[in-house]
Amino acid sequence: MFIESKYTDSMYPKVTVIVVYYNSTKRRDLIKENILSIKDMDYPNKEVIMVDNGSQDDTYNLIRTETEGLGFKVIKSEENTYWAGGNNLAFRNSPPDTKYYLLVNPDVMVQSDAVKNLVEMMENEPRLGACQGRIIRGWPKGFLDVGRYIGEDGQLYYPNYVRGIDINREYLITYPAGALAILRAEFPKRRGFIFHEIGMMGFDDSVLGIELYMNGYIVKYYPFMTGYHEVSAFTPREVKESYSSVMRFLFLMSINTRYSRYVREYYLSNYIRENIRKNILMNRGANPDRFSRAYSKAKEIHSRLKIHLDLYKAPHLKIPLSAFLLDLFSAELRRRIYNTSKFSLVIPPGLEGV
């Protein structure tokens, strides 16, 4: 799994490592570990670009202090452009000879041999647009991140929902976890950016995976360890969840699946359900307006971006109509059933046996 030692430093392809930070001083310990793991990467031909993404605290000075003398490039954005925008800023400031981008979250500790192993996979497979290895997650504790799939219903699924997946073997995925993944530089260089920017979290690594397939690339998971991800150390889960409804609507609007036509019904079912919970069941936590705002925001973003993706060009999960209809009536019941379900992985024609 390693690049041969006969390589001289000048023979290794250039890798630009990108880390985006935002209001990170509350976990100085993690930032120090993150930076130390990047410093200790066993890869000679790398450029490290760290972005302070408009933090309101002292994150910029913290990064500058911890990277002093390491030769890392530290950039300060005047505003928070979210994860997508921060990565794009680093992309615009990366060396022209960059062949691969290594995306690293600030709460990730990268294993020292991860870059060599990931680069070797990319060098051996010219069609490989992006890939990831095995990542240990801090939440849920001990959970392994081994790639991601998108279902026809626009939901994210981990491989444990998939029939016949063996995490000890390589396999195609819809997209890699942006927390620690490598990306072939030629695709973003061709279009001038890595991720679409929508002014909020989400709609980034997942969309990029589908776009790679639509442009002739493939995306894979490989069964070697690449690092540890604390998960939500700097972005509370409740903040991520506040964007989840917008992302679900936006996925159904932007991605061609057999359920895309039902996005309005999906909105109305959620809105009606929340009204029943609020006005009849007297549930104080019910909030029908949340779905109205999310639906309106998704429509605004979709009309501005004009993105039309085809999920059927990428590996995806086939979701039965019964499961999708169930989601219209009870998200909680859907979650309970999904947690004990296994869905079929669909590999598009031409990708079988890859």
How high is the pLDDT of residue 3?
A: 45
Query: How do residues 87-120 score in pLDDT, each as one tens digit?
Result: 999 999 999 999 999 999 999 999 999 999 999 9
For strands 316-318 and 309-310, give the pairing.
unpaired
- Does residue 58 register a pLDDT over 70? yes
How high is the pLDDT of residue 205?
A: 94
How many Å apart are CA 198 and CA 146, to the nearest integer?
Answer: 27
Is 149 within 8 Å of 324 (Cβ atoms)? no
How many Å apart are CA 63 and CA 33, to the nearest integer?
Answer: 12
Give the torsion sign (CA, 123, 128, 129, 134).
negative
How many Å apart are CA 247 and CA 200, to the nearest integer?
Answer: 10
Q: What is the dihedral of CA 41, 29, 76, 243, to 10 degrees?
A: 100
How far, CA to CA in Å, does 122 sit from each of 3, 27, 174, 194, 220? 11, 33, 17, 18, 10
Confidence grade of residue 57 (pLDDT, cut at 50, 70, 90): very high
Tokens of residue 85, six digits: 């925008």
Cis-peptide, bond into residue 236, ω within 30° of zero: no
Q: What is the mean pLDDT of the chain?
A: 92
Residue 304, Cβ neighbours under 10 Å: how many? 10
Location of structure tokens 């490598």:
182
- Does residue 2 register a pLDDT over 50? no
- State the DSSP code for 162: B
Confidence grade of residue 9 (pLDDT, cut at 50, 70, 90): low
Tokens of residue 79, six digits: 């505003």
- Does residue 331 register a pLDDT over 90? no
Query: How do residues 191-203 score in pLDDT, each as one tens digit?
Result: 999 999 998 888 9
Query: How do residues 117-142 score in pLDDT, each as one tens digit?
Result: 999 999 999 999 999 999 999 988 88
Query: How do residues 127-186 score in pLDDT, each as one tens digit?
Result: 999 999 999 999 888 899 999 999 999 989 999 889 999 999 999 999 999 999 999 999
Residues in CB range of 141: below 8 A, 6 or more apart? none
% of the chain surpassing 90 pLDDT = 73
Confidence grade of residue 10 (pLDDT, cut at 50, 70, 90): low
How many Å apart are CA 352 and CA 354, to the nearest integer?
Answer: 6
Location of structure tokens 């991720």:
195
- Does residue 342 register a pLDDT over 90? no
Confidence grade of residue 5 (pLDDT, cut at 50, 70, 90): very low
Query: How do residues 231-267 score in pLDDT, each as one tens digit?
Result: 988 876 667 777 888 998 999 999 999 999 999 998 9
Q: Which residues pair with 157 in a beta bridge?
A: 149
